[in-house]
Structure 1
Amino acid sequence: MTSSEPIKPRQPLKVGFILSKSFTLSAFALFVDTLRLASDDEDRSTRKNCDWQILSAHGHFIRSSCGVQIAPGTGLPAPKEFDYLAVVGGLLNVEDPIDGEMERYLKRAITEKVKVIGVCTGSFILAQAGLMKNRTACVSWLHHHDYLDRFPDHRLVSNQLYVEDRDIITCAGGSAVADLAASLVRRHIGNSAEKNALQILQIERRREGREIQPRNPLSTEHKDSKMRLALIFMENNLDKPVSMDDVAKSMNLSRRQMERLFHRRLKMSPGAVYARLRMRRARSLVLQTSKPLIDIAIEVGFANSSHFGRRFRQTFGCTPNVLRSRQKDNGFVHLDDDLFAGIEQTQ
């Protein structure tokens, strides 16, 4: 390019929002506010770098699950006017969360190669429209079984914050929406815009999509009612270790019956599973908080930090301090979240 040629101005990141009936207000607000704060150099709410529009085929007010109503625009622009179309879901017991015209609009967007985002339970809406076939959906651990009950042949994760599978992104919801929105800002606008938004939102760092949801109960992965009782009991007693006899009692089984069930379902002893749950909780606290190691040790049932540190290293291959240092240096540490990898199978 010669000096006489004009510099092409940056096009703003443009997102169209499709709000379902009884949508989750916090998910929508976090997304749009991240865009707003990234849109200029200060907190002036101009639309210099980002633009957004609330879409509706009818223009009527849309009520959120908490009762707050949002007024959409009128008419549906061509999907290609947007970089992304974000479907914000909400309560799962609502019949026809979006109307047929909006569903057809989403299918048209995919055909025209416009990326679509399912926010919170928006993944259910996309799956109902047939858009998640042969794609992996990400949902909150809270809705793991709900999704599989409705779409048993679909691929699903409920331990990550969000997943991008080709032209569709699905996000578990909650605070992960801000992480996703910030990642889009970084991708389309740049580091300074992302930094500006996160600083004003008082968010220390943006989490990557593959990071683990703050609470991801192992019990979500098993439909066996006895197993779920045991796993929930374990998850609720990470700070004050319980005996395996107590776990068996929570299942209304003998200890031997419980052990046979664990070995049949998980190929592990109950004690090994319980130890893994404690270590996974510890890892989350090491990576997601600045708590002293002694406090983390106590929170997952260890009497001192030295014993905790030895068990942590046996499980994850490094000490808690080393893991924290890696995250500080690299901004993000991705570890295999296989619940049963690398732990001694002892009673």
Structure 2
Amino acid sequence: MSPLPAPANPSVTPASGTRPLRRRQGSARLSVGFILARHFTLCAFANFVDVLRLAADEGDRSRPILCNWTVLSESSDPVTSSCGISVQPKERFGDPARFDYIVVIGGLMEEEALLPPACHRFLHEAAAAGVPLVGVCTGAFLLHQAGLLQGYRCCVSWFHHADFLDRFEGLDPVTDQIFVVDRDRLTCSGGASSAHLAAYLVNKHVGPAQASKSLHIMIIDEALQADKPQPGITMDFKTRDPMVLRALLMMQQNMEQPLTVADIARRIGHGKRQLERHFQAAVGTSPQAAFLDMRLSLAHHLIVTGNRPILQIALECGFCDSSHLSRMFRRRYGQTPQAVRVTRV
């Protein structure tokens, strides 16, 4: 596997006056403190830690030499993940400046998962000391609830896009790429993307060889840069074209109020004609036709799997009314929505 390229990406905003990493006792080049929310996502946490672990030593011997990491808490009580497995914190909060990054791992969206006041105080102390803060999975929600994301771009999973908009009015989170680096705030969508964000940090502060080695041992084919589109539900469209994938995800997130092709192209930073050419080459159709097909596929799924009124389904899928849906539906499936519902098994 080829080494990671040097970090240079239009979706990574360089810090202004970023503090240099502190050199600590020993040879550690990267020190990370983790805060785990109640019912955190174990996969996101494990992927991040394993990249650090594998980069820190020869082979997979796991000694914290080039990197070190620890789980922080206001108490020594175990923190239970969303899958029921608990992790024991190793250190109390203390001085945040002993770390190069503080990483908040989020998980289930529920009231009891909110961070306690002592954690908010620690995060504000870290921010005041210039320690970069990282939000993983729904960690972006937790950083924002702590008042630490104002004025920053942040990344959340496409799956939680609507939740973020509901909770934080006026913000427009990034949901069409796997992570975002904006000065001293770093956020990622969780899951496998946390490994790529960790590799970005290892590449930057330890070296590209160590970052590549970590991903290779984890059976991850290649390092992905920040603007790699998030995988999502793109219906029947099979393509690896990043521009098309980002457009499909944008469509998916705006089913109820469909965007024009020009709007989609503008939001992903390309021209309308360029986007149309990419769609034709990648999936053999136009963006307009792809969006209509996606909305009809969703409508069909809702009709055959539930009992919601046809009008409600029509509106949720971006059609003017049930008659509009019926016309488009019959052209695609040869039957009206009502007929499909009557004949479903």
Superposition TM-score, scaled by structure 2 size? 0.64
Residue matched to 1:82: 99
Residue matched to 1:23: 40
SS of structure 2 residue aligned to 1:147: helix
Q: What is the CA distance between 1:155 and its match in structure 2?
A: 3.2
The verdict on how the C-alpha distance between 1:200 and 1:99 changes in structure 2, with shifts beyond 3 A counting, is: same
Q: Does structure 1 residue 66 correspond to structure 2 residue 83?
A: yes
The verdict on how the C-alpha distance between 1:82 and 1:31 changes in structure 2, with shifts beyond 3 A counting, is: same
Residue matched to 2:154: 137
For 1:78-127, what per-residue CA distance to the aligned partner results, in whole angstroms no more than 9, with x for missing partners?
A: 11111100000010023352110001111111111100000000000011
For residues 212 and 113 of structure 1, the distance between their equivalents in structure 2, rounded to whole angstroms, comes to 30
Contact 1:21–1:94 (8 Å) recurs in 2: no
Residue matched to 1:42: 59
For residues 31 and 43 of structure 2, the distance between their equivalents in structure 1, rounded to whole angstroms, comes to 20
Structure 1 residues without counterparts, runs of 5 or longer: 1-7, 238-246, 260-270, 272-347
Contact 2:70–2:91 (8 Å) recurs in 1: no
Residue matched to 1:171: 188
Letter in structure 2 aligned against 1:253: S
For 1:281-313, what per-residue CA distance to the aligned partner results, in whole angstroms no more than 9, with x for missing partners?
A: xxxxxxxxxxxxxxxxxxxxxxxxxxxxxxxxx
For residues 34 and 198 of structure 1, the distance between their equivalents in structure 2, rounded to whole angstroms, comes to 7
Q: Does structure 1 residue 218 correspond to structure 2 residue 233?
A: no
185, 188, 195: which is aligned to 2:205?
Answer: 188
The verdict on how the C-alpha distance between 1:33 and 1:236 changes in structure 2, with shifts beyond 3 A counting, is: farther
Residue matched to 1:199: 216
Residue matched to 2:225: 208
Letter in structure 1 aligned against 2:165: L
Letter in structure 2 aligned against 1:63: T
Contact 2:39–2:113 (8 Å) recurs in 1: no
SS of structure 1 residue aligned to 2:211: helix
Letter in structure 1 aligned against 2:163: D
Superposition TM-score, scaled by structure 1 size? 0.64
Contact 1:133–1:154 (8 Å) recurs in 2: no
Residue matched to 1:254: 323
Q: CA RMSD in A?
A: 3.1
The verdict on how the C-alpha distance between 1:254 and 1:16 changes in structure 2, with shifts beyond 3 A counting, is: same
SS of structure 2 residue aligned to 1:51: strand
For residues 41 and 236 of structure 1, the distance between their equivalents in structure 2, rounded to whole angstroms, comes to 53
For residues 84 and 27 of structure 2, the distance between their equivalents in structure 1, rounded to whole angstroms, comes to 38
Contact 1:16–1:54 (8 Å) recurs in 2: yes
The verdict on how the C-alpha distance between 1:157 and 1:69 changes in structure 2, with shifts beyond 3 A counting, is: same
For residues 162 and 236 of structure 1, the distance between their equivalents in structure 2, rounded to whole angstroms, comes to 31
For residues 79 and 196 of structure 2, the distance between their equivalents in structure 1, rounded to whole angstroms, comes to 25
Residue matched to 2:134: 117
The verdict on how the C-alpha distance between 1:236 and 1:17 changes in structure 2, with shifts beyond 3 A counting, is: farther
Q: What is the CA distance between 1:67 and its match in structure 2?
A: 0.4
Residue matched to 2:3: none
The verdict on how the C-alpha distance between 1:94 and 1:234 changes in structure 2, with shifts beyond 3 A counting, is: same
Contact 2:255–2:295 (8 Å) recurs in 1: no
Letter in structure 1 aligned against 2:205: H
For residues 212 and 166 of structure 1, the distance between their equivalents in structure 2, rounded to whole angstroms, comes to 21
Residue matched to 1:159: 176
Structure 2 residues without counterparts, runs of 5 or longer: 1-24, 233-248, 261-290, 301-312, 333-345
Moved more, 111-120 or 132-141: 132-141
Q: What is the CA distance between 1:10 and its match in structure 2?
A: 4.7
Q: What is the CA distance between 1:230 and its match in structure 2?
A: 7.5
For 1:232-284, what per-residue CA distance to the aligned partner results, in whole angstroms no more than 9, with x for missing partners?
A: 434699xxxxxxxxx9797553349989xxxxxxxxxxx9xxxxxxxxxxxxx
Q: What is the CA distance between 1:157 and its match in structure 2?
A: 0.9
For residues 166 and 219 of structure 1, the distance between their equivalents in structure 2, rounded to whole angstroms, comes to 29
The verdict on how the C-alpha distance between 1:61 and 1:256 changes in structure 2, with shifts beyond 3 A counting, is: closer
For 1:200-253, what per-residue CA distance to the aligned partner results, in whole angstroms no more than 9, with x for missing partners?
A: 10111010011101113623235549x99984434699xxxxxxxxx9797553
For residues 114 and 325 of structure 2, the distance between their equivalents in structure 1, rounded to whole angstroms, comes to 48
Residue matched to 1:324: none
The verdict on how the C-alpha distance between 1:83 and 1:223 changes in structure 2, with shifts beyond 3 A counting, is: farther
Residue matched to 1:316: none
Q: What is the CA distance between 1:191 and its match in structure 2?
A: 1.3
Counting matched residue pairs gives 244
For residues 74 and 174 of structure 1, the distance between their equivalents in structure 2, rounded to whole angstroms, comes to 25
For 1:152-188, what per-residue CA distance to the aligned partner results, in whole angstroms no more than 9, with x for missing partners?
A: 1223111110001111111001111111111111000
The verdict on how the C-alpha distance between 1:256 and 1:122 changes in structure 2, with shifts beyond 3 A counting, is: closer
